[in-house]
C-alpha cells in the first residue's frame, strides 16, 4: 500500500491495483499495510475470479445433494422477486411458461437484469449497506 496524496490510497501488488479514498489514522494505515503484506496476493492472480469463486462453491457443496431444477412457474416467480423486486404479472408468467427453447431462463435473467426494476433493487441494496 502506498499513500499517493492527501486523499487517496493506492493498493499495489494486488491483482488489478486500485485507488480508494481514505480517511484513516496513521495507525490504521500501518495496520492495513501489515495485513496486506501477510496476504498471498500474488497467488490469487493465477486464475480468473469466476474460476476461483466456482471452485469455492464446488468445494463447499461437495457434501450436499443438489435439489432438482425448479419448474418454470416457480422459476419465473423467484427470478422476478430476486431481480425485479416484485412478482410477475399473470401475462408475464404465462408468456414465460408458454415459451419454448433451452435458453429461455437465461433470456429472462438477461432481460430482468437490464431492466429499470433491477437497477432500483441494486440501488436499494447498496444504500442499506
Residue 84 belongs to a domain: yes
Residue 124, pLDDT score: 76
- Angle (nearest 5°) at CA 28 between 23 and 34: 135
Quote the domain boundaries for residue 88. 72-128
Mean pLDDT for the chain overall: 75
Work out how many domains the chain is built from and give that number: 2
Please, which pLDDT band fits residue 1 given cuts at 50, 70 and 90? Answer: very low
Q: Are 117 and 85 in contact (CB under 8 A)?
A: yes
Q: Are 120 and 85 in contact (CB under 8 A)?
A: yes
pTM: 0.52
Q: Are 17 and 11 in contact (CB under 8 A)?
A: yes
Do 79 and 40 fall within a single domain? no
Residue 16 belongs to a domain: yes
Amino acid at each position: 500500500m502506498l499513500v499517493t496524496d492527501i486523499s487517496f490510497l493506492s493498493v499495489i501488488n494486488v491483482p488489478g491495483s486500485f485507488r480508494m479514498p481514505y480517511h484513516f489514522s496513521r495507525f490504521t494505515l500501518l495496520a492495513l499495510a501489515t495485513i496486506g503484506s501477510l496476504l498471498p496476493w500474488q497467488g490469487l492472480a493465477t486464475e480468473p475470479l469466476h474460476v476461483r469463486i466456482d471452485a469455492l462453491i464446488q468445494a463447499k457443496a461437495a457434501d450436499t445433494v443438489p435439489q432438482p431444477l425448479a419448474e418454470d412457474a416457480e422459476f419465473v416467480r423467484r427470478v422476478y422477486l430476486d431481480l425485479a423486486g416484485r412478482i410477475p404479472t399473470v401475462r408475464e408468467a404465462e408468456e414465460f411458461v408458454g415459451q419454448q427453447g433451452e435458453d429461455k431462463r437465461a433470456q429472462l435473467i438477461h432481460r430482468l437484469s437490464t431492466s429499470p426494476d433491477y437497477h432500483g433493487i441494486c440501488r436499494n441494496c447498496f444504500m442499506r449497506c
